[in-house]
């Protein structure tokens, strides 16, 4: 929830910066200033970052994209420090630096947590698979363990761990012959 607020702040401030950049950019272009490409580049960065903030509302952003956004926003803010202190440049700088800070809140896929969950699930499955092995599939009597070859109650051969799944499926037809 807090992350979403930061992402909203990120959108607002990248757009604030973009608005200022668009104004100063066209002004600079009008007077043919050498700085125009910088303003253009930072404008694209702002718009792209706003897009990432927007997407981050709905889904997790790959870590590499998040880092790119953070780094390019900080770099852009750094470049704006060198720009003349017009009010519009201060607006751009404020927008970029707040957005750069907000970009830390962009949600990324929780990699380590997922692995833990997957392992946990795998263990659960293997535990569940291992359980029937401890009971005789023919009479349901508890066995001593995986090393026991024959059921103590009905005397039938206990299936190996690997054969378990197949044997359970066909035990009605094949147990008599075995």
Contact of 16 with 91, CB cutoff 8 Å: yes
Q: Among residues 147, 150, 173, which one has the least CA distance to residue 161?
A: 147
- Minimum CB–partner distance for residue 135 and Zn ion (Å): 8
CA–CA separation, 47 and 43 (whole Å): 6
Q: Is 136 in the site for Zn ion (CB under 5 A)?
A: yes
Query: Closer to Zn ion at the Cβ: 119 or 153?
Result: 153
- Stretch touching Zn ion by CB under 5 A, among 41-49, 111-119, 132-140, 164-172: 132-140
Q: Is 158 in the site for Zn ion (CB under 5 A)?
A: no
CA–CA separation, 115 and 109 (whole Å): 11
* Residue choice 148, 153, 166, 175 for contact with Zn ion (CB under 5 A): 153
- Minimum CB–partner distance for residue 128 and Zn ion (Å): 21
Q: Is 134 in the site for Zn ion (CB under 5 A)?
A: no
DSSP 33-79: -TTHHHHHHHHHHHHHHHHHHHHTTTSPPPHHHHHHHHHHHHHHHHH
Q: Is 168 in the site for Zn ion (CB under 5 A)?
A: no
Query: Would you mind telling me the total number of residues written for the chain in this entry?
Result: 178
Q: Is 175 in the site for Zn ion (CB under 5 A)?
A: no
Q: Is 116 in the site for Zn ion (CB under 5 A)?
A: no
Contact of 66 with 108, CB cutoff 8 Å: yes
- Minimum CB–partner distance for residue 127 and Zn ion (Å): 22
Binding site residues, Zn ion, CB under 5 A:
136, 138-139, 141, 151, 153-154
């Amino acid at each position: 929830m807090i992350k979403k607020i930061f992402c909203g702040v990120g959108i607002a401030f990248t757009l604030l910066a973009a608005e200022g950049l668009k104004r100063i950019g066209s002004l600079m272009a009008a007077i043919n200033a050498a700085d125009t490409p910088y303003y253009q580049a930072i404008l694209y960065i702002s718009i792209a970052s706003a897009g990432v903030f927007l997407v981050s509302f709905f889904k997790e952003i790959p870590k590499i994209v998040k880092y790119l956004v953070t780094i390019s926003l900080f770099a852009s803010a750094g470049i704006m420090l060198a720009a003349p202190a017009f009010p519009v440049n201060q607006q751009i700088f404020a927008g970029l630096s707040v957005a750069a800070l907000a970009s830390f809140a962009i949600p990324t896929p929780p990699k380590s947590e997922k692995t833990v969950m997957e392992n946990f699930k795998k263990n659960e499955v293997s535990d569940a698979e291992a359980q029937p092995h401890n009971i005789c599939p023919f009479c349901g009597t508890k066995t001593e363990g995986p090393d026991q070859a024959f059921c103590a109650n009905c005397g039938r051969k206990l299936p190996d761990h690997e054969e378990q799944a197949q044997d359970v499926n066909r035990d009605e037809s094949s147990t008599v012959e075995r």
